[in-house]
Amino acid sequence: MKFTKLCIAALWLLSFPGYLHAQDPPQISLMPMPASVRLAEGRLRVNPNFAVSSQAYSDSRLEGAISRALLRLDARTTLTLAVSSDAKSALVVRVDGPGEAVQELNEDESYSLEITPQQATLHAATVTGAMRGLETLLQLLSADRDGFYFPALHIDDRPRFPWRGLLIDVSRHWEPVDVIKRTLDAMAVVKLNVFHWHLSDDQGFRVESKTFPRLHQLGSDGLYYTQAQIRDIVAYARDRGIRVVPEFDMPGHAHSWFIGYPQYASAPGPYEFKRYLGGDSVPFDPTRKQTYHFIDKFIGEMSRLFPDAYWHVGGDEVDGTPWDANPAIQAFKKKHGLQDNAALQLYFNQQLTRIVHHHGKQMVGWDEILNPDLPKDALVQSWRGPESLALAAKGGYNGILSAPYYLDKMFPTSTYYAGDPLPANSDLNAAQAARILGGEACMWGELVTPENIESRIWPYTAAIAERLWSPREVSDVGDMYRRLDIVSARLEEAGSRHRLNPEALLRQAAGGEYPAAVGDFMDFVEPLRLGLRMDERRPSQNTPLTSLGDIVVPDPPESRRFAAQVTAFLKSSGRDSSLRDALRTQLQAFLAMNDAISTLASHAPVFRDGEATAADLAGLGAAGEQALGYLAEGKIPPQEWIAQQNALLDRAAKPKGLLRIAVLDAIRELILAAETQRPVSHVKG
């Protein structure tokens, strides 16, 4: 699979409207877009004498950030750049102070960056702000025939929202330490600042507990983080300006707790390790004092590992059936005047809040915790949508949005980009709007393993990061995609394997190297979205996620390029012969892809999953080429042809082998244009 067939050098020269002087050909492509960018004349050259010095304040965190930045600059320029104490160095980093001892929600992340032909000056109030500025500087590096340089400019930047997170679910499928660290490095590139670590669920309890060792001994299948590893990852995240918020789900999604400690469940055991994904889930028994003693001791132990002020308790999707079937719980509800299970969960959350407060934390929970009687310092994470988030804000609660940002749904990046925690049409007043703290992308674990999780997170999450950092007015989808393709390379430079791992999995499936046409085929198909995938072929924890549907990536750049060409061609009313020729060449290539997949499947059985889809794609290629012919001749095709193509489109739309054709809508529009002999204004990606 290829990153893109577009020339990267050409991409760097394209502009992003509204932020730069029109008279200067822009040579920068930043993501997230800063709050303010002003280009100036000239360039600061990066040569063997280029050095960096820190002034005013420095500590080990800042020194580490500068060192990592220089290593990336070294690798890109092939130079060996140095740290200096000279205030006249080519890059001067001025930091006023360290910031908070434990990074906080409202830590100052702002910075300014001034680049002249003589010197670059990065100024920030805190080390965290300096880290954000260094990432911007790294994205600014450009090149010409004379070598590398930074463009002269002035940037003033600060985040729109203070909470910009990524959730990773390690319960349903385990993710080892190296994957977590690579993800943290990539998060830093796009200025995300909260790592939400979903550490327990029905399918796994993933942290060593010395107080209650049967939690990890029996609830993890041997796959868990030691306390030393937890401390290491928390420190690693802090060194990159990222907070770590743990989630231990309760009272529901708690099956893994009860394998070792069934006495705290609301239904009798025994409980065994649950490898299947989904299904029934027994909640904690919220009526027994022993339950709260257990939770109190557990949170007391874990809170010493996680210094962040926020503590996520889950609270979502509680199945009340075991509560209804338990006579003791029903008697408790009657005695305490609890009318329903929602009231019982509120009772649980009120006790839980006191425990969390006792250990110096503030509660975070999903939508279901929201209740007017919940303490106002609880933070609500909305998976139900902006309306639910707004309701929480109107009720006096701080909140963050996740509903539009579920990465396991594998929507087009443009869909994620359109989601906004505080949209322009919001009816919240200023005080209520201030309670919207930001949002989190969510990588749930049903369909990801260490081999494919990075290709499901990146580069798409960079667009979500921009939505949470940049001004609301930064919203041009075409320009977002242009810059996304560029930041993808920067993410890879920082260590992400989102492009390398699919290549490796493809070679594994092929039993070695594979024909170029096979890689081309993978550029024009996508994985099934979550619901369809689970309907077609539901995995368990033991299922190897190495099928073609697990290897291909959502929203492939080459498919977007093809769709953009179709859009441009139809907007020209079919008169642009160069675009017509390019489209015809690509449509003809679908036939070669079909032949290559068919041949490979004869000795590499994994590719049998692709045969039906490749045949459909070849048929669509032939239909698209015929549509181009009808458009060139200005003739409406016969009804028999139209009926045949509509049947083909219907057949191609049905999932096969966990794959869907990414260019189906584009070819549909070509066929429709031929049928009507009318240009079509837009093609879906």
Q: Which residues are catalytic?
A: 317
In this structure, are residues 363 and 381 in contact, taking their beta carbons and an 8 Å threshold?
no
DSSP 3-state assignment of 149?
Answer: strand
Spell out a b/e string for 519-531, using b for 16 or more CB atoms within 10 Å of the CB, else e: bbbbbbbbbbebe
Residues in the chain, how many?
A: 685
Nearest to 521, CA basis, from 611, 625, 640, 624: 611
In this structure, are residues 139 and 29 in contact, taking their beta carbons and an 8 Å threshold?
yes
Whole-number Å distance between alpha carbons of 617 and 2: 18
Kindly give the interhelix angle for 477-493 and 177-189, rounded to the nearest 10 degrees: 130
Q: How far is CA 341 from the centre of its chain?
A: 34
In this structure, are residues 2 and 523 in contact, taking their beta carbons and an 8 Å threshold?
yes
Residue showing tokens 């500087």: 137
Helices (H), 634-663: 639-653
Task: Quote helix, strand, coil % in the chain, to nearest 5.
Answer: 45, 15, 40
In this structure, are residues 51 and 84 in contact, taking their beta carbons and an 8 Å threshold?
yes
Single-letter amino acid, residue 103: Q
CA-CA distances (angstroms) from residue 252 to 5, 282, 300, 349, 498?
Answer: 47, 7, 20, 12, 33
> Running DSSP on this structure, what letter comes out for residue 34?
P
Cis peptide before 554 (omega within 30 of 0): no
Nearest to 470, CA basis, from 130, 18, 39, 91: 18
In this structure, are residues 509 and 604 in contact, taking their beta carbons and an 8 Å threshold?
yes
Whole-number Å distance between alpha carbons of 458 and 475: 19
Residue showing tokens 């995938």: 533
Strands 362-366 and 310-312: parallel
Residue 591: how many CB atoms within 10 A of its CB? 17
DSSP string for residues in 188-236: HHTT--EEEEEEEETTEE-B--SSSTHHHHHHSTT--B-HHHHHHHHHH
Residue 332: how many CB atoms within 10 A of its CB? 18
Q: Computed over its alpha carbons, how large is the radius of gyration of the chain?
A: 27
